[in-house]
């Protein structure tokens, strides 16, 4: 009997052949992703090579060096996690949390809650401090919380994507050293767009994503650990519960040995390498200044439309602005009309701010004055029509 004769008959009812791929061109001014720089798309579209090819290993070195620059850190354990920003978020907790560790999370938005959920899954003793969504924690409040809870890890969101608020970090690392705990920071919506000084601020762990301030497609996410954090990893009494994200294994691939761990997303490495190159070519100070200038143009234009921002200007992110929805206006109707009639995406509110705010992102390649003009004109027309 031949192999063909032994096969079951193919069920053609399962067969679906969609038309050729046709993706609309959108102006992505929501909370992410942002539009990718054309140079990044071109880099990603090159043919893949092997993930142990000498040429690829050279790219890995370049990516790590440029990540250290944009984060302003000397951490050797700095690498892109093969996954979206949530994978990098989970990697920080998976590697440093052991069952029973007290993890203190500052919750002032949606992603503080996600940190709580993740830490609990690794059987941490999770504690939290809370502020209204859009506000930030003071050093005094953080000191009081550290004195009360004595955590192994303090987790804060530097740039809260759900609220558009920037958490000041100056002095927090010194507090954590005083209380002998690690400082974990979410920089998903801040990397590349606002000042970050991980070493100066004594941050022990940080993560980000590729699709916001770096204007790269999602799927390759910056991750870093300090020597203090690595010591905690090395002193674990239990294995890291997540094999894929285990830095004790991954560092053999991203370190000198280059020992195979998993098949790296080669084309995503091309993309994030080019995205980082563009940031280093522009220079951090220039990138930060560009984002601030563009955001201020947006804020002035929103005020001219009679719209208010949700966050006080002192703590407002230039990368993501939350705009209060006027009384009686259907928030989702506005965002739908912007997308359908003007091809512009802005975000609706998330969690507690659902229906109460819009989220307008000006990140990376999209942080340009012409994009501000486009969204303000379109938003004004839609508001008038509705």
For the domain that residue 361 is a member of, what is the CATH number? Answer: 3.90.1150.10
pLDDT score at 256: 85
- My answer on whether 374 and 352 are in the same domain is yes
The H-or-E segment that residue 116 falls in is helix 110-121
For 19-100, strand residue ranges (E) read 27-28, 77-82
| Structural domain containing residue 185 | 38-280
| 339 and 247, same domain (yes or no) | no
Q: Is residue 234 part of a domain?
A: yes
Structure-block tokens of residue 228 = 């203090």
Q: Whole-prediction pTM value? A: 0.95
Examine the domain organization and report whether 274 and 326 are in the same domain: no
> Which residues are registered as beta bridge partners of 182?
153
Are 356 and 270 within one domain? no
Nearest Cα to Cα of residue 362 among 272, 277, 294, 303: 294
Asked whether 122 and 178 are in contact (CB, 8 A), the reply is: no
Contact between residue 320 and residue 361 where contact means Cβ atoms under 8 Å apart: yes
Last residue in a domain, options 249, 280, 311: 280
Count of domains observed in the chain? 2
Q: Quick one: pLDDT at residue 113?
A: 97
CATH number of the domain at 216, please. 3.40.640.10
Residue 101 has pLDDT above 70, yes or no: yes
Rg (CA), the chain: 22
CB 282 within 8 A of CB 357: no
- The pLDDT tens digits for 163-195 are 999 999 999 999 999 999 999 999 999 999 999
Q: Name the pLDDT band for 373 (thresholds 50, 70, 90).
A: very high
Kindly state whether residue 313 falls inside one of the protein's structural domains.
Answer: yes
Residue 1 has pLDDT above 90, yes or no: no
Query: Which helix (H) or strand (E) is 277 found in, with range?
Result: helix 266-282
Q: Are residues 81 and 131 in the same domain?
A: yes
Q: Residues 339, 315: one domain?
A: yes
pLDDT tier for residue 7 given thresholds of 50, 70 and 90: confident
Q: What DSSP state is assigned to residue 180? A: T
């Amino acid at each position: 009997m031949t192999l063909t004769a032994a096969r079951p008959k193919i069920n053609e009812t399962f067969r679906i052949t969609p038309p050729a791929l046709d993706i609309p061109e959108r102006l992505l001014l929501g909370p992410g992703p942002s539009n990718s720089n054309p140079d990044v798309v071109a880099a990603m579209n090159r043919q893949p090579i092997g993930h142990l090819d000498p040429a690829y290993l050279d790219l890995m070195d370049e990516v790590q060096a440029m990540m250290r620059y944009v984060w302003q850190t000397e951490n050797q354990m700095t690498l892109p996690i093969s996954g979206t920003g949530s994978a990098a978020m989970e990697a920080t907790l998976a590697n440093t949390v052991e069952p029973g560790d007290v993890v203190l999370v500052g919750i002032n938005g949606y992603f503080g809650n996600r940190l709580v959920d993740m830490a609990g899954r690794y059987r941490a003793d999770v504690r939290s401090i809370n502020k209204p969504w859009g506000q930030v924690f003071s050093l005094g409040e953080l000191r009081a919380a550290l004195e009360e809870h004595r955590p192994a890890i303090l987790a804060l969101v530097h740039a809260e994507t759900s609220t558009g608020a920037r958490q000041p970090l100056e002095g927090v690392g010194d507090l954590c050293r005083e209380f002998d705990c690690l400082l974990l920071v979410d920089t998903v919506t801040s990397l590349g767009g606002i000042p970050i000084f991980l070493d100066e601020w004594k941050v022990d762990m940080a993560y980000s994503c590729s699709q916001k301030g770096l204007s790269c497609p999602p799927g390759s996410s910056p991750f870093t650990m300090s020597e203090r954090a690595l010591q905690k990893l090395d002193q674990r009494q239990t294995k890291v519960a997540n094999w894929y994200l285990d830095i004790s294994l991954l560092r053999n691939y991203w370190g000198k040995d280059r020992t195979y761990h998993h098949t790296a997303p080669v084309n995503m490495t091309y993309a994030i390498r080019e995205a980082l190159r563009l940031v280093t070519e522009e220079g951090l100070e220039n990138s930060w200044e560009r984002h601030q200038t563009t955001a201020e143009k947006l804020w002035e234009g929103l005020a001219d439309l009679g719209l208010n921002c949700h966050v006080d200007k002192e703590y407002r992110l230039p990368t993501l602005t939350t705009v209060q929805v006027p009384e009686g206006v259907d928030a989702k109707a506005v965002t739908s009309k912007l997308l359908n009639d003007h091809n512009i995406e802005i975000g609706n509110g998330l969690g507690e701010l659902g229906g109460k705010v819009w989220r307008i992102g000006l990140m990376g390649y999209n942080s340009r004055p012409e994009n501000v003009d486009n969204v303000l004109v379109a938003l004004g027309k839609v508001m008038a029509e509705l």
